[in-house]
Structures are given as structure tokens and as C-alpha cells.
Amino acid sequence: MKIPFSPPYIDDDIKREVMDTLESGWITSGPKVLALEKLVAEQTGLTHVACCNSATSGLMLLLHWYGVTRGDEVIIPAYTYAATALVVMHLGAVPVLVDSGDDFNLDVGKIREKITSRTKVIIPVDIAGWPCAYHALFDLVNAPEVKSKFTPTTENQRRLGRVMVLSDAAHSLGARYANKPIGVWGDFSVFSFHAVKNVTTAEGGAMCINLPAPFDSLEVYKQLKLWSLNGQTKDALAKTNGAGWKYDIIYPGFKMNMPDICAAIGLAQLRKYPNHLLPERKKIFDQYVDFFRAHVWAELPPGDTPHRASSAHLFALRVRGISEGQRDEMIVKITQAGVSVNVHFQPLPLLTVFRTRGYRMEDYPVAYDSYAREISLPIYPGLTAEQVHLVVTSVVDAYNDVASVTVR
């Protein structure tokens, strides 16, 4: 038996929605994208959500919307996927890294010392689908001594009047914090619909708009849609409307729009996400918890509390008392048993592009420790009890082979 790490969920309803799009005569941005935006908005309780072609694009577009540019600083976790940092660098700004807490997410208590008059944005990342401490984050950006450092240089910065919180919610569609869905916690939140995410469009993302007054969500939505389609006043569908062919380009925009053929996959998945696909994931999560709880060497990922609920995007197991090398050996053995696992994430300073720019792993010891002992197990709807059994026994066997001798 071979167990893949994260195959996409494809059923007949998804195939039907895709066929419907193919047969409709319209495959790029059009009615399916609008329907997906509406459904994400409904499920998160927002008025406006704008889809785009990846979370990376969405994050970059929103930093650009806030006027982030050369000389600015953006605070991000050291423990995340590289895209969180690359979007900052694409705009000429500097990613300022913060170490993690013991729940993988950035340690909000370590942010204050990193804030300078150049700080424009904080990008918290809900690692593995576990929500960040949003109350503490907003207390921080609204604290008088933090606000007084803020030096706005664009109209949007002046209107918000503080460091913006741009939630990288790539993993956390369906998660909840303080009884509200993720999507309504950042000033903006960006979901990823990449192929391995809880809901996929193959590639895609959604920008959730949650700005306080005096911003107008509809106005911001229209602007983001325009900027993600070359700054063009009419999308391709509107232009096909006979005599209405004429358009203008009113902003040097980007090409980041989501096609309908992709939206169709996500639309059919999202319809069954809250009541079927998400509970299925959580069931597997709970099965792993029940099993590993009995093993003292197994450090469980954070689990739901009345205040926070994970989207169970990853099951990030940490093994107590092992080295990075032993973790790697365990992965080889688990893989030999037919189970595909993964590591989330290599902290940014371990990657060449960051190391060569002067970021040092020693400065983020908690992130390193989490990474060095971490193994992500398969978690997705459709994993059978037999498969879950193979996963857990392969992990235990690998631990007994590799680690127990030195740890006990």
C-alpha cells in the first residue's frame, strides 16, 4: 500500500462543474470566479472577496495596494513558506523575521522590538491552519507607542494610520478564532487554493477585504480586480459584448486574474467544505491525536480550544529529543514503508536566498527547533482507517529504529 501525501480531492460534482465551464464557451475569468468569490464571502461573513491566480499574487498585490516599496520593512515569521518573504522582496522592501512560539506561529511577544518607523505591515501566518493570536496582534499595532512610530507615506497608509495586518491565511480557510472565521481577522486575509490546500482551484487565491472605516470594501474590491487584470476597465467577458469592445487601461496593473476553469474546481469543493471535507480532515487529525497521545516522545500539534479551531491543513508532528539528522532518517524509513510525509517548513534562514542576504538561523532558535523535529503526516478526506493505521505504525517503527536508543 502506498499513501500519497496530499492528493487533490476530485469527485463527480467537481468534474461536472469543470465540464459545465468547458461547455459554456467561457473558460477565463467570468461567472464561476464571481460565484466562488461570493461563496468565500458567505462562508467567512465578509461583503467582498476578490479571487486571484495564487496567494502569492494576492499578498503581493495587497502590499502594493498599501504602497509598500523600497526602504520599507515588513515583519514576517522566520517559520513560513518562502512566498511570504518573496512578495516583500519583489517590492524592494525588507522582510524582518520574527522567531516562532511553541505553536509554530510567530511569537507576537517578539514583534515589538522589531518595529521601526519603516515598518508598514505585519504578515502573520496561520501555520498548518492554526490561527495566530490576532487579539494580541491588534493590541500591538494599536498601542500608542507603536502607532506613534508609524510614518505613513501613501494615502492608504494615512487613512489606516497604523501598521497593517495582512494575514497569510494560505493554510487556514475554515479555521476560527474567537468564534469568527479566519478571513475576518486581518485587515486583509489571503487564502491559497494551491493544489495541496484544503480547497483547491489547482492554482489560485482569494483576498478577503476587512478594512475598518473609512475604507469602502466595494471600492477596494473593484480596485483590486482592476489591478489584477492589467488595470483594464473591462474584463474579457465584458469586452465580448459586441459594441462594448472599447476599454481603457487606467493603472499599470498586473496579470493575476483567476480563470473560470480553475474557479469551477474550487466552487464545487467549497460547497462541500464546511459540512463534509473539513470535518473529514478534522476526523483524521483527531485519530492521529488519539493515537500519538499515548507516546511520550510525540509532541502533538496545537488542537482546538473554545477560542481557536484549526483548519487541520497539516498534521505537524514533532518528535521529542531527536536531532535534525534523526528526523531525516525517520522520514527515509517512513517513506520506505510506503507513506509519503513532508516537512513544514524549512525556516527561511536555511534557504540560500535568505542566508546569502545575511539572515542567520541562530537568531531564530525556536523556529529551528520546531523544524528540526517536525514531520507532516498525510491528512485529507478519504484516508481510510487502514491507511491511518499504516501511517502511525510506520512513524512508531521509524522512531523505534532511529531515535529511541539515544533518547531513552
Ligand X SMILES: Cc1ncc(COP(=O)(O)O)c(C=O)c1O
Site of interaction with ligand X (CB under 6 A) = 54-56, 80-81, 83-84, 125, 168, 170-171, 192, 194, 205
Q: From edge to edge, which strands make up the β-sheet containing 315-319?
A: 298-299, 315-319, 374-377
Taking the complex as a whole, how short is the minimal distance between the CB of residue 297 and ligand X, in angstroms? 27
Taking the complex as a whole, how short is the minimal distance between the CB of residue 396 and ligand X, in angstroms? 28
Which of 226, 228, 191 lies closest to 206, judged by CA? 191
Taking the complex as a whole, how short is the minimal distance between the CB of residue 72 and ligand X, in angstroms? 20
Taking the complex as a whole, how short is the minimal distance between the CB of residue 37 and ligand X, in angstroms? 16
DSSP 3-state of 128: helix
Q: From edge to edge, which strands make up the β-sheet containing 176-177?
A: 180-181, 176-177, 308-309
State how far Cα 315 lies from the chain centre: 15
Taking the complex as a whole, how short is the minimal distance between the CB of residue 6 and ligand X, in angstroms? 11
Partner residues linked to 190 by β-bridges? 168, 207
Taking the complex as a whole, how short is the minimal distance between the CB of residue 84 and ligand X, in angstroms? 5
Taking the complex as a whole, how short is the minimal distance between the CB of residue 120 and ligand X, in angstroms? 19
| Residue 332 backbone phi and psi in degrees, to 5 | -60, -45
Nearer to ligand X, 54 or 387 (CB): 54
Q: How far is it, in rounded angstroms, from Cα 359 to Cα 401?
A: 35
Q: How far is it, in rounded angstroms, from Cα 177 to Cα 77?
A: 19
Residues 6+ apart with CB under 8 A from 69: 91, 92, 93
Nearer to ligand X, 98 or 388 (CB): 98
Q: How far is it, in rounded angstroms, from Cα 193 to Cα 202?
A: 7
Nearer to ligand X, 257 or 394 (CB): 257
Nearer to ligand X, 342 or 393 (CB): 342
Which of 222, 90, 93 lies closest to 154, judged by CA? 93
Nearer to ligand X, 48 or 171 (CB): 171
Strands 176-177 and 180-181: antiparallel
Which of 50, 168, 191, 46 lies closest to 106, judged by CA? 168
Nearer to ligand X, 105 or 394 (CB): 105
Task: Please identify which residue in the block is written with the cell numbers 520599507.
Answer: 72
Taking the complex as a whole, how short is the minimal distance between the CB of residue 105 and ligand X, in angstroms? 11
Q: How far is it, in rounded angstroms, from Cα 406 to Cα 408?
A: 6
Nearer to ligand X, 3 or 59 (CB): 59
Nearer to ligand X, 370 or 394 (CB): 370
Contact between 97 and 349 under an 8 Å Cβ cutoff? The reply is yes
Nearer to ligand X, 143 or 196 (CB): 196
Nearer to ligand X, 77 or 253 (CB): 77
Task: Please identify which residue in the block is written with the cell numbers 483576498.
Answer: 207
Taking the complex as a whole, how short is the minimal distance between the CB of residue 90 and ligand X, in angstroms? 12
Taking the complex as a whole, how short is the minimal distance between the CB of residue 352 and ligand X, in angstroms? 19
Q: How far is it, in rounded angstroms, from Cα 36 to Cα 34?
A: 5
Q: How far is it, in rounded angstroms, from Cα 119 to Cα 163?
A: 7
